Amino acid sequence: MLFENTLSFAKNLDDQDPLASYRSHFHFPKVDNKPVIYFTGNSLGLQPKIARKYVDEVMQDWEALAVEGHFHADKPWWDYHERLAAPLAKVVGASPSEVTVMNTLTVNLHLLMATFYRPKGKRVKIICEEKAFPSDQYLIKSQIRFHSLDPDEVMVEIKKRPGEHNFRTEDIISKIKEVGTECALILIGGVNYYTGQVFDMHQITKAGKKTGAFVGWDLAHAVGNIELKLHEWDVDFAAWCSYKYMNAGPGNASGCFIHERYHQKTDIPRLEGWWGTRKEVRFQMKPEFEPMPNADAWQVSNASVLSLAPYLASLQLFEEVGMQALIEKRKKIVSYLEFILKEVATEVSGNFEIITPANPEERGTQLSVFLHGEGKALFDYLMKNEVITDWREPNVIRLAPAPFYCSYEDMYRFGQILKEGVLNSEL
């Protein structure tokens, strides 16, 4: 499609957008009493209007039923988390039995590494990407130390080539082959938080499995953003947060994937708790753990129902729309934003370097832009003028036009505000 940097063209795209009505399903913050252009769904998604209803249901059941809400609420609390498995499975490309919701992201990665990082003999190394999200770096190093090993010797970081912003799949696979039988685990973020690059999870997983390593993925920036086929790709495990593209609320519950080959294994190493034991015997208080026959076996505590309620509400919208429709709009709106950025750069003789891959198959709902020649003053200008975006050192703004609630008119308006900001900084 040939784009145009005009308001009428942007409005026409919105008129043709089959998802345009979903914008009205979300609450938008305001600046000076004006709705914002919201580019930070990659940090915290907007609140679905239906979320309050789901939370209020739990509050009302707690008020009216107290402890009996566990079994007699309209959505009983003791199996509340099970309602999320089927819709989440569609989002991540899994069977419902392979998906569970519990705890928060880094907690779950620690729990999963208790199962899937079992260093033995010379097979002790963990492969990850350099400059991963800091929490992943911390958890990997702490897990290595937990096994009385040295992170400097055990953690292998895949690096970008000098002068390049993104990783090359062939370099990742080459490093996996090089580490070979010394590799115990590969744990990488499916979408790089800084650049927005989407990793070739299928090929990387395949290469890792050939060496005999376990392969897991941190999908914080991937779930609800890109197409995932975790079961088909033969991924061992994955975890993700729910508050970015999944719109479940700040710090909310994490989702997990554990491939079905590991279900119903009573001898598998796992940190176990009451809620992972079979429902049929859970309240018999038996001294021996009998695992659930699915991913729920990795649960350790009863679910935080007040956290799950807005997650379930958001998943209702994902059920209605489907990931393919979201991906189709995401590709188009990100391409339009890319076009707008290039148009504005030409108009103001600016140098906006997009460090996210240009190939739509290698990026999701994010463009990371180096503002060469501009300082944080431009970011501050955007924030004061109804554009909520994200600043990362040294000089990058991350723009994530989430397809559920961002419009093409937003992209056009952003371009005009960006142009004004650059021109004002030159006065």
List, run by run, the mean pLDDT of 10-residue segments along the chain (427 residues).
96 98 97 92 98 98 97 96 98 98 97 97 97 92 97 96 96 98 98 97 98 98 98 98 98 97 91 94 91 96 95 98 98 98 92 94 96 87 95 92 98 97 77
DSSP of 140-165: HHHHHHHTT--HHHHEEEE-PPTT-S
Q: 40 and 400 in contact (C-beta within 8 Å)?
A: yes
- Identical fold for domains 7-35+322-425 and 52-321, yes or no, is no
Amino acid 426: pLDDT:
60
Q: What is the pTM of this model?
A: 0.96
Render the burial of 332-351: b for 16+ CB within 10 Å, e for the rest: bbbbbbbbbbebbbeebebe
**Chain centre to alpha carbon of residue 144:** 25
DSSP of 209-241: HHTT-EEEEE-TTTTTTS---TTTTT--EEEE-
Burial class (CB in 10 A: 0-12, 13-18, 19+), 114: middle
d(CA 8, CA 346): 20
CA distances from 41 to 22, 124, 192, 399 (A): 15, 37, 15, 9
Domain ranges for the chain: 7-35+322-425, 52-321
Instruction: Give the containing element (helix H, strand E) for 392.
Output: strand 390-392
The CATH class of 52-321 is alpha beta
Render the burial of 96-107: b for 16+ CB within 10 Å, e for the rest: bbbbbbbbbbbe
The CATH class of 7-35+322-425 is alpha beta
DSSP of 266-289: TTS-----GGGB-HHHHTTT-SS-
DSSP, collapsed to helix, strand or coil, labels residue 264 as coil
